[in-house]
Structure 1
Amino acid sequence: MEVVIQEAVTAVYGSGEIKEVQMREQSPAPEGEEPKKRNSDAVSMISQVERDEPTKFSMLPKDDPVDIQFENVRFTATKGIFKKESKEILHSINGRLPPGQLVAIMGPSGAGKSTLLNALSGYSITGTRGKFLINGSPRDLNAFRKLSCYITQDDRLQALLTVMENMLVAADLKLGADVPLTEKEDIIQEILCTLGLYKARHTRAERLSGGQKKRLSIALELVNNPLVMFLDEPTTGLDSSSCRQCVKLLKVLARQGRTIVCTIHQPSASLFDNFDQVYVLAAGKCVYQGSTKMMVPFFDDVGFPCPMYHNPADYVIELACGEHGTDKIDRMVKGTENGKTLQWMKHHASLPSARTLREKFGPIKKSEGSESLHATSASHQLKILLGRGFLKAKRDSTLTYTRIMVNILTGIMLGTLYWQAGIDGSKVLDNYNLLFSILMHHMMSTMMLMILSFPNEMSVLTKEHFNRWYSLKMYYTSVTIVDAPLSVFCCVVFSVIIYTMTAQPPSLERFGMFTAISVLVVFVAQSFGLMIGAVFDVTNGTFLGPTLSVPMMMFAGFGVALKDLPSYLFWGSYISYLRYGLEGFVGAIYGLNRNTLECPEDKYCHYKYPTKFLEDIDMKGDQFWNDIICLAIILFFLRIMAFVLLRWKLTAQR
């Protein structure tokens, strides 16, 4: 018989505050009857979804309920290059978040709502000071993260995947490889039915409405049945009907023994009434903590009663903004003892002490290392991420099909402009210009694509990585592997077009050398763009990328020969990957002791002897393998640096 978590909650907190979801004990059904019952349950759920009604959620929490307490929490934000300027956002606040209740953190803009939510969830730890207790014991952040999830204000979804595909990826990563597919599908079906997403299960996330996207964000984190859920402004951008549905859903989940905390700006009276408990902030201090029903008596107690027929939620925001005077804020902070007093909570006398909680539940089992944060092995994570990555690449018109077309069209245009230049002794300099133009195409198109696209992926990565979907190593490995086939394919297609149209030497060896250099330059430029895209947003990245590429072009040996570089600048040629790319191209086309070029009778061919041309541009024709090695070293270094910067960015955001 299934152990219902409500029994544990009721035993500790009493029945006054926790309204249990009624669950019937079911005896094992005879063989052959379980599928029938499951189908009837599904039909019942789907019929409720058709009427847009919230359904009861049978996935009860399996672990002990989580009671959160925080004491003397302060948060100091720093800014400036050297972080010398600081501002305190939270001022020694206290609070209690018992399980089984839907808790709203309210306050005017800039009051510190999101800051407090980030501190409670562990999403932001830099600059946070204070004591956080989980069931009376000091919080172990890694262990707490395994029990909780954080849903951001903006809907960070894989837009190219359908609702069902998003859910399957989440289930595969969060439930583990040992859970059968049929069980995962049953879990997904119930979640989608409960959240009213069943009819949209085959719709891509990018085509969902705002309310559906918000519910999908919640659905993805419900897969592994978390005990604690933090939601940042879950009603932002939703109409009144969607807001009501979202809050009712959260209340259903809270009634099952979960601890659910969300920030909300200024709810309507009917929406406000759905919350069990509210925590109100004003300028980083607690002006009220208690039940929604006790807020009006609190106003009477501190000496400024709520006007009749006035929405208490509106009135408390007016007070918190200082519209009725800053002295009232101070009196409210004193009345709540900055969050220490619990007298305005319903049944506050029955709330157990920290000592009672420790004795009843004990500390959360500590997590050993970051790897244990994830439900699946590294190899399984990589397998799922590769599958998702290839599916996204198949559907992405910008990163895939437009990229292929750009390479084809650019190859045709350059081939037309430099038609047959490769065999004409009078067009050697034109052909040299072509080789540098090819380098520019490979560098700019690949680098800018990463700079423009990766910042959007960063927002999804931040959410999924924090919620323990996968490790950063496996994500980075999957990104590298997924893009490699497309990059090689584009290089080969481009090389075939440009090589044949411009009549380069008809040698398979030379063509292979030419293509190999192209592929390596593309990979290096991609890594360079990944470094920039991982750290900077699109605006700063689009400026910084071309700016940093200028020195690469300066030291490539094209405009200024390497022998003419000043001695104090010659070091730049060793770090310019364009130098090795250009030298590799020249070696592939004019090296290997190439024969004398054909010269039209009516033209002067100054460079019909390739050795003369190589001498004038100060390049050797036998450096191909050295160029390959140097490009490979630069590629390895930039890939490592991109990973280090990516990890630093994720850490710095916290």
Structure 2
Amino acid sequence: MFRIITPDKAKPFTIGRKEGSDLLFTERFVSREHAIIEFSEDAGGSAWHIRSLTKNSFTLVNDVQVEETTLRDGDVIGIGVKQLHVNLKGKELTLLLFDANDEVERVTLGDAPETRKVGDEESPREITVSKKGDGAEIAFRQGAVDENGKTHRKLVLAPGETTRYDQTEITAKDGEILLRKASAGFDIHVRDLDVFAGKKQLLSGIDFDLPAGEILAIIGRSGQGKSSLLKLFEGSYRKGERSSVLIGGVDYRHREVRKHIAILAQDPPLRQDLTVEETLLHGARISMDRREYAATSSAKLEKFCELFGLSARRQNRIKTLSGGELRRTALAAELMGNPGLIILDEPLSGLDPFNSRILCSHLKQLAFLGHTIILTTHSYEALHIANKVLVLHAGEQSFYGTPQAAYQFFKTNDPESILSGLNQDSSSIWKKSGSVSRDTVESHYGHIYFTRQKAKASLAYGMALTLRQWFRDKGKTAALLLQPFIIGFLFSQIFSKTSSLWTVSFAIILCANWFALSLSIREIVQEKGILRGEFRKGAKVLPYLAGKLALPTVAAFLQTAIVYAFVAYRIPVHPSPALLAVAFACTVAPAVAMGILVSSLSRNSGQANAFLPLLIIPQVALAGALVPFDQMQQVGKWLSTVVWSRYNQSTFLNLLLERPDDVWNKLSALILALIFCIITAFILLRSKKAK
């Protein structure tokens, strides 16, 4: 993975193969005493310097051999095959260590199978290679899935064929298997891209290649199509029929590829009542294999908190964080799953210059670690860290290339002048210039494979997560606890032994519906932004839905029971507790299911709340309590058949009158609940697919 090293200002920091070096390397490319880093401070200021000590190797800074030089933020130090990314914050220096080893491991194919471990050191994957005709057979111990999600235990490579398995390139060549470490990121290949929202075309003729491990900054005025391109990768918008968008050499819409894309909105949607630590571990749980989660999640949590400066805020709730801390937390949570492509929409918007520089520094570190990054921005700070710039105007491409090439093309050194000078002719000028910059990075894999993952069980966890948020919200906790007691007390003061059991039954049913609907109707809509990302990364719909159904159902059941307890000693009948429990369950289950269904259809919490009267009033009007069924109009009679309170009213009244109840009343309510659940599951499953 990576290491973070913090040299001490008070003493020289030594690098080499010699025992006792502050940073000890064992590779033959590193000298015993290779280099030294020192801090100096005088009246003119302070600085960190690196001095090369090696006589038979090289010390590089930004790919240039040096004897001695001053270090600056963002510099990359090369020591043999190792690379160190420099991060300077005031006088404090941290070094991000990453193994850039590009060596190829050769495995000779013989009669006996050979076993090798590939991938990163913290969670290696085991493969077995053997000869298969003129080619080779690869067996995956943990199983592998291709970009379509199809599981493979074995794979046959023809001579000369190359494939990618997680972060390893595997090639069959001349009776050997060649294993080479691949970048953590994906190459991006875009050709003739048209983007549509429904039938409306938003972008036209976008064309670029982005190598893995580079940063692309998309710039343009507001409303010119920057976010539209990101929504295509997200799956919200669709591409034209002749357009090509490849990630890692395969179509961007494939399920397994989408799991390895991290997308951060301008205001990242996070669960406000979770802590930073809980948010990062939740991100890991969603996107990691359960064995890998158990083995590495704690170490990853420590490293990413340290990398993003969140160690002191681990136990703070999300709602207490500043804008910069919030975005760093969201980014760290996404990185727990090691995505190959990171997409950020206006990540610097609303941040002060200090926090903008910090976030830019982190993005540069992530690119250093091999992640491919695409961001939209109005901030020119991002141009200092970008490897490539895409300029959009009026939904068309006006430039693509390096920042330096952009300044030359637009004949200015001022980034602001680039945008202010754009007009309706900018796209045609770019096309006619012949300056189209392509790196021709189209990957040569027929398929790419990922380790098959088995996520941790999520039903009990999902319920616990929701419960934690409920009870950390003091207002919601107070409402949960006080509502049934207040309503129950009021009912105890208006009902007596002479009260109509019909009215008592209707009042209890109405309360149960209110509790169930008010608890469930915001459960999904308030997390929709979060869910899109979690479903894309492989979260299961049914356990999530079951968790969202179970907790409001239990809570509404208990609230209804409390209200009934206040009324029970005022009325002359006392039905069996078991029969009461069945009646309560058949009442709250369809109401919760309908609340969850409406929540999945609503665009925001306000819209969901607006539906509450439309759901409650039919329960009142069509239950048969206000107007007998035989006095209703024909349409009213028909509508009453799909209103669950009709069946609940009959069941509860029969219970209070101590007369037999038709089992169809209970079954009808539960069947309606099941139908609502199936529709909701279908809606959520559709949201997982890219358009």
Give the TM-score, by structure 1 length.
0.75
Query: Secondary structure at the residue paired with 1:153?
Result: coil
Aligned to 1:267: 379
Q: Is the 8 A contact 1:74 1:91 kept in 2?
A: yes
Query: Secondary structure at the residue paired with 1:188?
Result: helix
Partners of 1:139 and 1:73 in 2: CA distance = 13
> Which of 559, 565, 568 does residue 490 from structure 1 map onto?
559
Partners of 1:220 and 1:484 in 2: CA distance = 30
> Which of 187, 207, 210 does residue 320 from structure 2 map onto?
207
> 1:54 Cα shift?
6.6
> Which of 454, 469, 474 does residue 376 from structure 1 map onto?
454
Which ranges in structure 1 are unaligned for 5 or more consecutive residues?
8-13, 27-40, 79-85, 301-305, 343-347, 593-621
Q: Is the 8 A contact 2:194 2:202 kept in 1?
A: yes
- What are the residue-to-residue correspondences of 1:143-154 with 2, within 5 Å? 143-154=256-267
Q: Is the 8 A contact 1:151 1:231 kept in 2?
A: yes
Partners of 2:245 and 2:360 in 1: CA distance = 26
List per-residue Cα deviations over 1:389-431 (Å, max 9, x = no partner).
Answer: 343344243444422211111111122122xx2x22xx32xx5
List per-residue Cα deviations over 1:583-624 (Å, max 9, x = no partner).
Answer: 1221121233xxxxxxxxxxxxxxxxxxxxxxxxxxxxx225
Q: 1:459 to 1:328 in 2, by over 3 A?
A: closer
Partners of 1:21 and 1:364 in 2: CA distance = 35
Q: 1:560 to 1:405 in 2, by over 3 A?
A: same
Q: 1:508 to 1:555 in 2, by over 3 A?
A: closer
Q: 1:329 to 1:170 in 2, by over 3 A?
A: closer
> Which of 518, 525, 531 does residue 591 from structure 2 map onto?
525
- What are the residue-to-residue correspondences of 1:235-634 with 2, within 5 Å? 235-264=348-377, 266-268=378-380, 270-300=381-411, 306=412, 311-312=414-415, 314-320=416-422, 322=423, 326-335=424-433, 341-342=436-437, 351-352=439-440, 354=442, 357-358=443-444, 362-365=445-448, 375-377=453-455, 380-418=457-495, 421=496, 423-424=497-498, 427-428=499-500, 431-468=501-538, 470-500=539-569, 502-505=570-573, 507-509=574-576, 511-536=577-602, 537-567=604-634, 569-592=636-659, 622-623=660-661, 625-634=663-672
- What are the residue-to-residue correspondences of 1:61-210 with 2, within 5 Å? 62-63=167-168, 64-65=182-183, 66-78=186-198, 86-120=199-233, 122=235, 124-125=237-238, 130-136=243-249, 139=252, 141-179=254-292, 181=294, 183-210=296-323
Query: Secondary structure at the residue paired with 1:179?
Result: helix
Amino acid at match of 1:277: K
> 1:640 Cα shift?
1.6
Query: Secondary structure at the residue paired with 2:96?
Result: coil
Q: Is the 8 A contact 1:49 1:193 kept in 2?
A: no
Partners of 1:248 and 1:528 in 2: CA distance = 47
Partners of 2:92 and 2:662 in 1: CA distance = 67
Q: Is the 8 A contact 1:278 1:292 kept in 2?
A: yes
Amino acid at match of 1:437: A
List per-residue Cα deviations over 1:21-48 (Å, max 9, x = no partner).
Answer: 647779xxxxxxxxxxxxxx9xxx9x98
Aligned to 2:339: 226
> Which of 616, 620, 642 does residue 680 from structure 2 map onto?
642
Q: Is the 8 A contact 1:491 1:519 kept in 2?
A: no
Partners of 1:199 and 1:55 in 2: CA distance = 20
Amino acid at match of 1:319: G
Q: 1:174 to 1:24 in 2, by over 3 A?
A: farther
Q: Is the 8 A contact 1:173 1:384 kept in 2?
A: no
Q: Is the 8 A contact 2:655 2:661 kept in 1?
A: no
Q: 1:533 to 1:49 in 2, by over 3 A?
A: farther
Partners of 1:388 and 1:49 in 2: CA distance = 36
Query: Secondary structure at the residue paired with 1:244?
Result: helix
Aligned to 2:106: none
Q: Which moved more, 1:396-405 or 1:490-499?
A: 396-405
Amino acid at match of 1:318: S
Q: 1:380 to 1:24 in 2, by over 3 A?
A: farther
Q: Is the 8 A contact 1:465 1:471 kept in 2?
A: yes
Query: Secondary structure at the residue paired with 2:457?
Result: helix
Q: Which moved more, 1:449-458 or 1:580-589?
A: 449-458
> 1:561 Cα shift?
0.7
Q: Is the 8 A contact 1:59 1:225 kept in 2?
A: no
Q: 1:190 to 1:123 in 2, by over 3 A?
A: farther
Q: Is the 8 A contact 2:261 2:341 kept in 1?
A: yes
More helix by share: 1
Partners of 1:412 and 1:48 in 2: CA distance = 64
Q: Is the 8 A contact 2:197 2:238 kept in 1?
A: no
Query: Secondary structure at the residue paired with 1:100?
Result: coil
> 1:203 Cα shift?
0.6
Q: Is the 8 A contact 1:54 1:195 kept in 2?
A: no
Query: Secondary structure at the residue paired with 1:90?
Result: strand
Partners of 1:406 and 1:645 in 2: CA distance = 32
Q: Is the 8 A contact 1:67 1:134 kept in 2?
A: yes
Amino acid at match of 1:199: A
Q: Is the 8 A contact 2:553 2:592 kept in 1?
A: no
List per-residue Cα deviations over 1:498-525 (Å, max 9, x = no partner).
Answer: 323x3341x351x543443233222211
Partners of 2:481 and 2:257 in 1: CA distance = 46
Q: 1:24 to 1:205 in 2, by over 3 A?
A: farther
Query: Secondary structure at the residue paired with 1:376?
Result: coil
Which ranges in structure 2 are unaligned for 5 or more consecutive residues?
3-28, 30-61, 65-73, 101-119, 121-166, 169-181
Q: Is the 8 A contact 1:452 1:538 kept in 2?
A: yes
Partners of 2:687 and 2:294 in 1: CA distance = 35
> 1:157 Cα shift?
1.2
Task: Calculate the aligned-residue CA RMSD, in Å.
Answer: 3.4
Q: Which moved more, 1:133-142 or 1:215-224?
A: 133-142
Aligned to 1:614: none
Amino acid at match of 1:503: I
> 1:89 Cα shift?
0.8
Amino acid at match of 1:487: A
Q: 1:19 to 1:199 in 2, by over 3 A?
A: closer
Q: 1:450 to 1:106 in 2, by over 3 A?
A: same
Counting aligned pairs with the same residue, the percent is 20
Partners of 1:50 and 1:161 in 2: CA distance = 32
Partners of 2:431 and 2:92 in 1: CA distance = 41
Partners of 2:367 and 2:293 in 1: CA distance = 28
